[in-house]
Amino acid sequence: MLVLGGPSGSGKSRWAAHLSREHRWPIVRLDDFYKDAGDPTLPMSSLGIADWDDVRSWRCEDAVEALEQLCRTGELVAPVYDISASAATGTQQVRLDGAGTVIAEGIFAPYVIEPLRERGLLAGAYCVHHNRWITFVRRLIRDLSEHRKPPLVLVRRGLRLARAEPGIVRQQLRLGAEPIRPKELARRLAQRP
């Protein structure tokens, strides 16, 4: 299992898709394991929306079990989460199909590092990051294009995340992720089977 973490908007999903196309590695999008609106344990932000940047908004144990199931059985029915709806809106089939590596990516991905290591399933773990203002612009463009929430909410959330980004990266490193720039990640993984 190759774990790709990083701040929201750092490009981990884009690089996961690139690596998947290049190497034919399946992807498990860990952000699809968010809790649905209406869950009493879902934390709310001061912006009046679910706080998707709080690890308590995410179902870590379910994500770890899903990753283990994929590795052990070769297939998984994973949820598909829609941020604009604040709910899982469907499912998707993920299959190994003989791949020697699976990519698990998401903003809370480093929280699966230790459980995967304990199960003997961890091949590597990285925190993809840039300059925080580059991340701010990329995240805002993505969120606006996907109509995730009203524009003012997205700008306010983006500024809050930009201020918090150095701490987010430090926390991911404490959880066992290696800091890496996207191009270095692609170069380093080019020789993996």
pLDDT of residue 191: 66
For residue 113, what pLDDT is reported? 98
Find where tokens 């992720």 sit: 177
Q: Find where tokens 């925080």 sit.
A: 132
Q: What distances in angstroms separate CA 55 from CA 38, 162, 175, 185, 188, one per listed residue?
A: 17, 17, 13, 25, 29
The pLDDT score that the predictor gives to residue 33 is: 97
Cα distances from 78 to residues 19, 95, 148, 167, in angstroms, run 20, 10, 21, 30
Contact of 66 with 33, CB cutoff 8 Å: yes
What are the pLDDT tens digits along the chain (193 aa)?
Answer: 999 999 988 888 888 898 888 889 999 999 999 999 999 999 998 888 888 889 999 999 999 999 999 999 999 999 999 988 889 999 999 999 999 899 999 999 999 999 999 999 999 999 999 888 988 988 899 889 988 888 988 899 889 989 999 999 999 999 999 999 887 887 887 766 5
- pLDDT for residue 32: 96
User: What confidence score (pLDDT) does residue 116 get?
Assistant: 97
The whole domain housing 31 covers 2-189
The predicted pLDDT at position 39 comes to: 94
Residue 41 DSSP code: T
Strand runs (DSSP E) across the chain, as ranges? 2-5, 27-29, 75-82, 87-95, 103-105, 124-128, 178-180
Structure tokens at 17: 């898709």
User: What residues are paired with 105 via a beta bridge?
Assistant: 4, 29
| CB-based contact 158:140 (threshold 8 Å) | yes
End-to-end CA distance of the chain: 12
Q: What is the CATH number of the domain that holds 81?
A: 3.40.50.300
Q: Could you give the number of structural domains in the chain?
A: 1
**Residues 125 and 110: beta-carbon distance below 8 Å:** yes
CA gap 142, 117 in Å, rounded: 32
Q: pTM (2 decimals)?
A: 0.87
DSSP state letter for 7: S
Q: For residue 120, what are its two tokens?
A: 């003997």
pLDDT for the residue 118 = 97
Predicted pLDDT at 185: 82
